[in-house]
Each structure stands twice: as structure tokens, then as C-alpha cells.
Structure 1
Amino acid sequence: MLRNAFEPWHLILIIAALVLLFGSKKLPDMARGLGRSMRILKSETKALKEERQTDEPHTPAATTPRPESATGH
């Protein structure tokens, strides 16, 4: 259904529409702002992962007791 949905000429049309809508002077500023936002998002995600790892002590699966099943299998 979505086979060949996004081809190179689609990119050309999107870029042309962006230039017409925002002008060529605003596009570099918008790209710079998007880059900054992506860097902030990446650093916050990394900080959350590190915080999560320090909050939860790692317990190996072999030392955690397993509940017995009711059927005894």
C-alpha cells in the first residue's frame, strides 16, 4: 500500500514549499533551533537513563527466588 510512498521528487516539493512559506532567511534559523532541541532531548534522555540505572540496583536473575507453580510442573 505504501510502496514507493516517498520518492526524491517529494523531497524537492517539500523543500520548495518550505522556502515559499518561511523564506530562505528563516530556514537556517529554524534548522539551528531544531538541532539545539534535538541535542537537549538527547542529553535529557541520557540523564534519565543514567538516573534510572543508579536508582535501581541490579539483581541477577539467578539470585531472585521464583514462585512455585500451583500445578507442580
Structure 2
Amino acid sequence: CCDLGYHQSISKVFRYYLASRQWAQQNMSAGMYQLDTALSELSQNQDRDTLMQANISAFCLPLRFQYQPYEGDQ
């Protein structure tokens, strides 16, 4: 009888909703995969060595102090 496009509108709304939910789920899965990859690639020894090489002056032993007596010290 009188078709106002109600069913078509509802169908489009639900399709867009489902598409957005699928997109969000795919993004979540991709993010979780990237996080898992980053966690599996963590290396304490390599990170420590990189930090020490980048800041070598902070981790070097100081120069040896040479004792030079003052006139009254003996």
C-alpha cells in the first residue's frame, strides 16, 4: 500500500551499525596484534646496552685522582 521507505531506512541503519562494529573490532584486533608483537620483542639486555651506549659519559668511571701533596701535608 503506502511504502514510505521505513524498512529500507531501518535496514540501512542496521547495516551501517554492523559495519562500524566490524570496523571497530578489526581495529581492536590489529591494535592487540601490534601490542603483542611489541611485547614479544622486548629485550632487557638490548635496551640496557642501548641506553648505556647512548649515555656513555654517565656510566664511565671517573678519571683517577692523582694525589698532589700540599706544602704542609706529608
Query: Relative CO higher for 1 or 2, CA cutoff 8 Å, sep ≥ 6?
Result: 1
- TM-score, structure 2 as length reference: 0.48
Bigger helix fraction? 2
- TM-score, structure 1 as length reference: 0.49
Structure showing greater radius of gyration is: 2
